[in-house]
Structure 1
Amino acid sequence: MSKTTPAENKALVLKAFDTLFNKRDYAAAERFWSDRYIQHSAHIAPGREGLFALIRAVPETLRYENQLAVAEGDYVITHGRFSGNGRPAAWIAADIVRIEDGKLAEHWDVLQDEVTKADSVSGLPMFGNRFPS
């Protein structure tokens, strides 16, 4: 049974993402991620240590921007952009996070390279209301 509300869980995930991805405050981030964190992403080594090691290895220019976060029970889904990641294109991500005991306990993601207007078959941006420059 959840001890937190969906709104609290959503706020927790957004604060955790900002702390790790934008501020790179690893000591503070440890308070958000469970030491038993389960990582399902194909791009990230297991556990909290795998995630933190990945962030330490990517350029300091990495930024996370959130466009949407929805929560139900112990789960939060975010739609965001990871830019400045050292790749040719930003990643547009749907991240699914399970909360347990007030910490991020489990994670899944779906990632796509962000495309330009010239490469968009739909003619619509993948994030926000503008294409990347």
Structure 2
Amino acid sequence: MTTDTTESANKALVLEAFDTLFNQRDYAAAERFWSPGYIQHSAHIEPGRDGLFNLIKALPSTLRHEPGVIVADGDYVIIHGRFSGHGRPAAWIAADILRIEDGVLVEHWDVLQDEATEAESKSGLPMFGTRFPR
């Protein structure tokens, strides 16, 4: 496989994995995307695949992930997205960094922040997409 093909496949894998877990909440299907030895670097999530899955199970069923820009460099994928419906006042804008090995997600880091409203944005531009949250 060429690097471009691998990177395209890795981006598709992450998009499908995130949709399966965060939007469909299909934990059995999601297990095929996350390694049993998944390494979690997030300060907000307990260790391993179980830590991630348990967090999602504890959040409201209204949780949604919207993907934005996604880039890949070899076995690493960064996806910029919005997590909404989690029960907090503001959606989270996230840059999730994932390492892929043998077709599964094996390691994760993230950068999270609350989404700013138009009144809060000093740049006057939305943090995600083309519109501010309502």
The TM-score, its normalising length taken from structure 1, stands at 0.97
Query: Using the alignment, how far apart are the partners of 1:8 and 1:120 within structure 2?
Result: 35
Report the alpha carbon displacement of residue 55 of structure 1 after superposing the two structures with TM: 0.1
Report the alpha carbon displacement of residue 39 of structure 1 after superposing the two structures with TM: 0.2
Query: Superposed, which structure 2 residues align to 1:114-125 within 5 Å?
Result: 114-125=115-126
Kindly, what percent of the aligned residue pairs are identical? 76
Residue 109 (structure 2) aligns with = 108
Query: Using the alignment, how far apart are the partners of 1:14 and 1:89 within structure 2?
Result: 23
Residue 80 (structure 2) aligns with = 79
3-state DSSP of counterpart to 1:117 = coil
Query: Using the alignment, how far apart are the partners of 2:105 and 2:15 within structure 1?
Result: 11
C-alpha deviations, 1:53-93, integer Å up to 9, x for none? 00000000000000111001000000000000111100000
Structure 1: runs of 5+ lacking an equivalent: none
Residue 20 (structure 2) aligns with = 19
Residue 51 (structure 1) aligns with = 52
Task: Show structure 1 runs of 4+ deviating over 4 A.
Answer: none
Letter in 2 for 1:22: N
The number of residues matched between the two structures is 132
Letter in 2 for 1:23: Q
Structure 2: runs of 5+ lacking an equivalent: none
